[in-house]
Amino acid sequence: MSNAPNTNKAKRVGCIIVLIIVAFVAFLTIRSCYTQVLDPNSDNAVMTDALSAIKENLKSPSTAKFTHTMDEVTIKDLGNNKYVVSSWVDSQNSFGATIRSDWSVTIIVTGNDTFSYGNVSITSR
């Protein structure tokens, strides 16, 4: 009977150690996701640039809700670091009504963290 309290204490200590290890691994995993450097010509980087460009051209950018899946995004590589990106966005118009609009924009990657854009088209459905 004298071993029972020690056994329970050892089990608790073991569980705490396992939880600490799991938390540490989760922390490292999440941290690596945020510190990952994107290739400026990757689809993710081009998409991020496109969303920034489209938000700059909306009446109410803070209300913008873009698709959450790349299945609804088209990225066409034109060569020479130029891409045409298109998809849809839900956002409020100047009257406050939320509408869905199709958009497209040409993204030109000019450096590791820089881009320019042109040919912005936002059309209500």
Predicted TM-score of the model (pTM) = 0.65
Tens digit of pLDDT for each residue in 25-82? 877 666 554 433 445 557 788 999 999 999 999 999 999 999 888 889 999 999 999 9
The whole-number pLDDT of residue 61 equals: 95
Q: Flag whether pLDDT at 92 surpasses 70.
A: yes
The whole-number pLDDT of residue 58 equals: 95
Residue 95 — very low, low, confident or very high, per pLDDT cuts 50/70/90? Answer: very high
Alpha-carbon distance 21 to 18, whole Å?
A: 5
The whole-number pLDDT of residue 34 equals: 43
Contacts for 90 with CB less than 8 Å, ≥ 6 apart: 63, 64, 65, 98, 99, 100, 101
